[in-house]
């Protein structure tokens, strides 16, 4: 039990310690972000605000709603979910430009060195939800839940991919390099975790186990979320290599992977089996690589 608690505690410590301070500072909620010509930032992530980049962003620009205006340079990708993206003639984007459910405006002279993924704003969605999101004659309830779940995973995946691109790449590589050890680690970890959850739940009847149960639930969520995003990255990167063999940027990889995984999960019976297998792999790769920071955390030191 001590080893399991140590593992869980390490997960929290790792998440807190490895989260870059600059990434936290550049996440805004309904606030405008302006990167001046002489400014350099690492990542810019905004929920409902407006982003203007005249200087340089080393990695990614991500917005949920609001607007993105790029007049300077972005070192990796520009992603807008329900956003209006404008690339001025002086804009240079060294990665991908992804616009989902928004508007993309490109002035002549702007440079996009990789791919452009553009799903226009959504006449389809407006028709789909016309009459109310819970209108039973228009959309089956299960489809609504699937769509909500998809966009929640999309939000989580984009944020994690923007902050932890190297860790995702490291963990994904270990799925290929040590697939069966990863699976074995995942099976053992899930069995142990389930056992501790059951014990904590029983102890909760006399109040002692409530803190441990809450702690285990939090750890389980952290491992599941990070592990699932690693799998999105893995499938998206594999898909990119299958069609053209070129490197796919982390943000584009998790989007493609999420779409592929979501489509497979829609298949009856097979989708449930697929989800169960993914859970095993997710737990195994997160624990074995210690959230993508090493090749094999469980390897004995010589």
Residue 151 belongs to some domain of the structure: no
Q: Are residues 174 and 271 in the same domain?
A: yes
Flag whether pLDDT at 301 surpasses 70: no
Q: How confident is the model at residue 113 (pLDDT cuts 50, 70, 90)?
A: confident
pLDDT greater at residue 117 or residue 125: 117
Q: What share of the chain is helix, strand, coil (3-state, %, to 5)?
A: 55, 20, 30
**How far is Cα of residue 129 from the mean position of the Cα atoms in its chain?**
26
Q: How confident is the model at residue 246 (pLDDT cuts 50, 70, 90)?
A: low
Q: Are residues 174 and 280 in the same domain?
A: yes
Q: Are residues 98 and 62 in the same domain?
A: yes
Cα separation of 213 and 198, whole Å?
A: 9
Residue 85 belongs to some domain of the structure: yes
Q: Are residues 269 and 169 in the same domain?
A: yes
**Number of domains, the chain:** 2
Report, as an integer, the average pLDDT of 253-267. 85
Report, as an integer, the average pLDDT of 238-255. 76
Report, as an integer, the average pLDDT of 144-156. 79
Q: Are residues 109 and 166 in the same domain?
A: no
Q: Are residues 188 and 72 in the same domain?
A: no
Residue 144 belongs to some domain of the structure: no
DSSP state of 82: S
Flag whether pLDDT at 127 surpasses 50: no
Q: How far apart are the first and last CA of the chain?
A: 25
pLDDT tens digits for 285-294?
Answer: 999 998 888 8
Q: Are residues 231 and 262 in the same domain?
A: yes
Flag whether pLDDT at 280 surpasses 60: yes
Q: How confident is the model at residue 300 (pLDDT cuts 50, 70, 90)?
A: low
Which residues span the domain enclosing 113?
Answer: 31-121
- pLDDT at 21 (0 to 100): 40
Cα separation of 264 and 260, whole Å?
A: 6
Query: Which of 4-13, 122-131, 171-180, 203-212 shows the lowest per-residue confidence on average (mean pLDDT)?
Result: 4-13
**How far is Cα of residue 226 from the mean position of the Cα atoms in its chain?**
8
- pLDDT at 26 (0 to 100): 55
- pLDDT at 244 (0 to 100): 64
pLDDT tens digits for 185-238?
Answer: 999 999 999 888 888 888 877 767 678 888 888 989 999 999 999 999 998 888
Cα separation of 94 and 10, whole Å?
A: 35
The closest of 279, 291, 221 to 13, measured between CA atoms, is 291
- pLDDT at 43 (0 to 100): 85
Q: Angle, nearest 10°, between helix axes 179-203 and 2-18?
A: 110
Q: Are residues 214 and 110 in the same domain?
A: no
Q: Are residues 201 and 277 in the same domain?
A: yes
- pLDDT at 158 (0 to 100): 85
CB atoms within 10 A of CB 34: 13
Q: Are residues 170 and 103 in the same domain?
A: no
Last residue of a domain, one of 88, 121, 154: 121
Flag whether pLDDT at 255 surpasses 60: yes
Flag whether pLDDT at 123 surpasses 60: no
CB atoms within 10 A of CB 62: 28
Residue 300 belongs to some domain of the structure: no
The closest of 291, 157, 151 to 229, measured between CA atoms, is 157
- pLDDT at 28 (0 to 100): 60
106-110, 123-127, 207-211, 291-295: range with highest mean pLDDT: 106-110
Q: Angle, nearest 10°, between helix axes 210-242 and 179-203?
A: 160
pTM (whole model) above 0.75: no
Flag whether pLDDT at 3 surpasses 50: no
What sign results for the dihedral spanned by CA atoms 285, 288, 292, 294? negative
pLDDT tens digits for 33-91?
Answer: 899 998 998 888 887 889 999 999 988 888 888 899 999 999 888 888 778 999 999 99
Q: In angstroms, what CA-CA distances link 302 with 287, 294, 297, 299?
A: 20, 16, 13, 9
Residue-wise burial string across 1-21, b where 16 or more C-beta atoms lie within 10 A, e elsewhere? eeeeeebbebbeebeeeeeee
Flag whether pLDDT at 103 surpasses 80: yes
Bridge partner list, 112: 93
- Average pLDDT, whole number, for the chain? 78
Q: Are residues 283 and 167 in the same domain?
A: yes
- pLDDT at 14 (0 to 100): 39
């Amino acid at each position: 039990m001590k080893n399991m608690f140590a593992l869980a505690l390490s997960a929290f410590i790792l998440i807190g310690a490895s989260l870059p301070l600059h990434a936290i500072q550049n996440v805004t909620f309904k606030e405008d972000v302006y990167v001046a010509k002489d400014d350099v930032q690492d990542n810019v992530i905004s929920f409902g605000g407006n982003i203007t980049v005249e200087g340089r962003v080393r990695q990614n620009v991500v917005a949920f709603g609001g607007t993105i205006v790029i007049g300077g340079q972005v070192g990796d990708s520009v992603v807008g979910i329900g956003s209006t993206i404008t690339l001025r003639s002086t804009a240079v984007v060294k990665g991908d430009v992804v616009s989902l459910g928004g508007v993309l405006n490109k002035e002549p002279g702007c440079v996009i060195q990789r791919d452009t993924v553009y799903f226009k704003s959504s006449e389809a969605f407006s028709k789909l939800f016309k009459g109310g999101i819970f209108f039973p004659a228009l959309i089956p309830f299960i489809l609504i839940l699937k769509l909500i779940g998809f966009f929640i995973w999309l939000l989580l995946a984009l944020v994690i991919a923007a902050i932890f691109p190297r860790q995702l790449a490291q963990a994904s590589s270990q799925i290929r390099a040590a697939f069966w050890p990863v699976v074995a680690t995942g099976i053992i970890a899930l069995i142990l975790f389930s056992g501790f959850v059951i014990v904590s739940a029983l102890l909760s009847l006399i109040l002692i186990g409530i803190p441990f149960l809450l702690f285990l639930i939090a750890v389980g969520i952290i491992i599941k979320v990070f592990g699932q995003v690693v799998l999105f990255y893995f499938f998206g990167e594999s898909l990119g290599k299958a069609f053209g063999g070129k490197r796919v940027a982390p943000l584009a990889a998790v989007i493609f992977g999420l779409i592929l995984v979501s489509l497979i999960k829609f298949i009856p019976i097979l989708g449930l089996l697929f989800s169960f297998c993914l859970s095993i792999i997710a737990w195994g790769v997160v624990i074995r690589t210690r959230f993508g920071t090493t090749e094999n955390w469980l390897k004995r030191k010589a």
